[in-house]
Amino acid sequence: MPIDPVCKMEISIADAAASHDYQSETLYFCSLDCQRKFERDPGSYMDDMSDEERVAS
Ligand SMILES: [Zn+2]
């Protein structure tokens, strides 16, 4: 299951309110609000992710 990088919630792709391609991976968001926050500062959210998650996706 993809994880919303902003609120760290697991979301199914079918339920995702928004998606965003970032560094050749597709990220999914629970809401447009989370997507907007991510787009404002993508680096800060991606840095929170473990290396393991980065490799897995
Ligand atoms: Zn969210």
Region 42-53 average pLDDT = 71
- CB distance 13 to 21 below 8 Å: no
Residue 49 lies in a domain: yes
Range of the domain at 32: 13-56
Say what the pLDDT of residue 5 is.
94
Residue at token pair 């991510």: 38
Residue 33 lies in a domain: yes
Has this prediction a pTM greater than 0.85? no
Residue 1 lies in a domain: no
Q: How far is the CA of 38 from the centre of ligand 1 (A)?
A: 10
Q: How far is the CA of 19 from the centre of ligand 1 (A)?
A: 11
Say what the pLDDT of residue 48 is.
53
Q: What value does the mean pLDDT of the chain take?
A: 88
* End-to-end Cα separation, the chain, in angstroms: 10
Measured CA to CA, the distance from residue 50 to residue 48 in angstroms comes to 7
DSSP string, 1-57: --B-TTT--B--GGG-SEEEEETTEEEEESSHHHHHHHHH-HHHHHTTS-HHHHHH-
Q: How far is the CA of 22 from the centre of ligand 1 (A)?
A: 16
